[in-house]
Structure 1
Amino acid sequence: MFEEAQLYSPVSHHDDGTVEVHLGADHPGFHDADYRARRNAIAARAVAWRPGEPLPRIDYTDGETAIWCQVSAELSEKHRRRAHPEYLAAKERLGLPTDRIPQLDEVSVALQALTGFRYVAAPGLVELREFYSSLGDRVFHSTQYVRHPSQPLYTPEPDVIHEVLGHGNQLASPRFAEVTRAAGAAVARAERAETVQVIADVFWFTMEFGVMYDRGELKAYGAGICSSYGEIDEFAEMEIRPLELTAMATQHYDITTYQPVLFAAESVDHLEDVVGAFFAGCDDDAPERLGAVTAVPTGS
């Protein structure tokens, strides 16, 4: 279960029209005035963007491009050894550049041709219901900033590397894309906040931090693992549990650290049969069925 207090770097809009990203005191860029100014400027572009307008294009600096190139190069070899074949095939189809940061509009064009998904610009973390319900329409809210250069191997926040290298490659798989869409449609149907949270928790342990067996070997397919060349080295050493809905809906997790508990699907078919089917049939009784909340007794 996720707690709202874990939210990293909320974004606020001031009366004078400026936008501020609030970095936590433990953030690697907290004391870096240039980085903070850059984050504010990129977030402001997303705040100013309106649906129907061309997506903001960011003029990435040489330093930001270098981080993308470094992470892409490191992940290339690690993906070959540790990513699931379904993810690898999707990555090959999408064909992201490794020598520059692609703009969200060009990734959208490629993804729409493959699975119908497209990106929209977000200044930071998006409220759960808004983020997930958009997935039901095959719309993915994406940040555009780059992680701090002092910690290129991992970010506790969803930067453009996570959103595009992680989720973009994943969404190029029609099968993964359909599970993602089903999660969004489930949230769009949900009337209760508790139901939205249960869907988000199951999504976290699958499409974000999911692992899956391939010919007896544990592989990664979750976007959070596949976009972190630190975590992709560590996931096989974590506590691996069977894919089980109640366990995923009630397992506490911290979004700012490596995940110590992961849930393994036996195959893509297994993921679809368990998680895809859960999203497809999810209703507002799900929190009680899964033990995520205590049922309220009815009067006699």
Structure 2
Amino acid sequence: MTAEAVTLHGWAAGEAGRPASPDWTIPQDWASYTPEEHATWAKLYRRQAALLPGRACAAFLEGLRRLPIEPDRIPDFERLSEVLMRHTGWQVVAVPGLVPEEVFFDHLAHRRFPAGRFIRRADQLDYLQEPDVFHDVFGHVPMLMHPVMADFIQAYGHGGLRAQRLGALDMLARVYWYTVEFGLVREGGALRILGAGIVSSAAESVFCLESPSPNRVGFCLERVMRTRYRIDDFQQTYFVFERLEDLLRLAEIDFAPLYERVAALPALAPDALLPDDDVVTRGDGRWHRGRAAPAA
């Protein structure tokens, strides 16, 4: 493997990835993107634009339509922020890549969404271990046009700062993973994609809804807080909201007693099913059977 193949950005790169600013923001410098980088965005955009109608939730598709996110070029964060500020008070700020947890939470708590400035290489279209500008902007930003998600993400930022103080960040991280990144929601009697980790992935956009392999389970907060997740492959379980507005109910809950209660219970494997689960689809596990299964 070449050094180029394992290039890391931001916090993942250690001290070499730390910018001068304490909040880790950097100029996007939109004019410096190369034609090759814009071409990579265009390939990713076209692929997802063909897959997502009929699969993504209505809020995502509407947000994508209303924002200046064009199919042939990486979006300009200033233009995105102008529209977001008018509708939900959010803005997009450029960062080199991953940022420390406390920096991430502080940005969210102040309605600033940190988006990695870099874009994956053309040979990384199907898998990248870090979130790049396509994942962050195409995957996350359209949902910030919806007032429910806009308020929930801000509440998550405040909750993350509190969870750090309480030593419960692993449990709260699972909530983010199974909602904002890999959640599903029911619309018109059918399952639709809610999470950014899915809408920015061609393969998982199909897998999460159509494969017989994963479990699909009704969302239960304490259950989700116990459930480990895949960082290396498709999810083995997807949690389903009955409606998008249910996200805001999570923001109204005092998590402190939940952390104490859940910490006393064993963590659950990513493919676990419990007797009292609201099982939408019981997976047969065929995709992951026999594969290595590290989980966070």
Aligned partners of 1:105, 1:229: CA distance in 2, in Å? 27
Alignment of 1:1-300 (within 5 A): 31=2, 33=4, 36=7, 47-49=19-21, 55-58=27-30, 59-190=32-163, 192-236=165-209, 237=211, 238-269=214-245, 271-272=246-247, 276-289=248-261, 291-293=262-264
CA deviation after TM superposition for structure 1 residue 109, in Å: 2.1
CA deviation after TM superposition for structure 1 residue 131, in Å: 1.2
Compared CA separation, residues 292 and 53, structure 1 to 2 (3 A):
closer
Is 2:24–2:95's contact at 8 Å kept on the other side of the alignment?
no
One-letter identity of the residue aligned with 1:156: Q
CA deviation after TM superposition for structure 1 residue 54, in Å: 7.5
Aligned partners of 1:118, 1:149: CA distance in 2, in Å? 28
CA deviation after TM superposition for structure 1 residue 193, in Å: 4.6
TM-score calculated relative to the size of structure 2: 0.78
Task: Give unpaired runs (5+ residues) of structure 1.
Answer: 1-29, 296-300
State the secondary structure of the residue aligned to 1:119.
strand
CA deviation after TM superposition for structure 1 residue 157, in Å: 1.5
Compared CA separation, residues 56 and 85, structure 1 to 2 (3 A):
closer
One-letter identity of the residue aligned with 2:176: F
Aligned length: 258
Is 2:23–2:103's contact at 8 Å kept on the other side of the alignment?
no
Aligned partners of 1:118, 1:293: CA distance in 2, in Å? 39
State the secondary structure of the residue aligned to 2:256.
coil
What does the per-residue CA deviation read over 1:214-239, in whole Å, with 9 as the maximum and x for residues that have no partner? Answer: 11211101111111112111111221
RMSD: 2.7
Is 1:46–1:56's contact at 8 Å kept on the other side of the alignment?
no
Show the counterpart of 1:10.
none
Report the more deviating stretch, 183-192 or 201-210. Answer: 183-192
Task: Give unpaired runs (5+ residues) of structure 2.
Answer: 267-296
TM-score calculated relative to the size of structure 1: 0.77
What does the per-residue CA deviation read over 1:225-284, in whole Å, with 9 as the maximum and x for residues that have no partner? Answer: 111112111111221111011121111113232222110111113x23xxx223333343
Larger RCO (CA under 8 A, 6+ residues apart)? 1
State the secondary structure of the residue aligned to 1:80.
coil
Is 2:24–2:96's contact at 8 Å kept on the other side of the alignment?
no
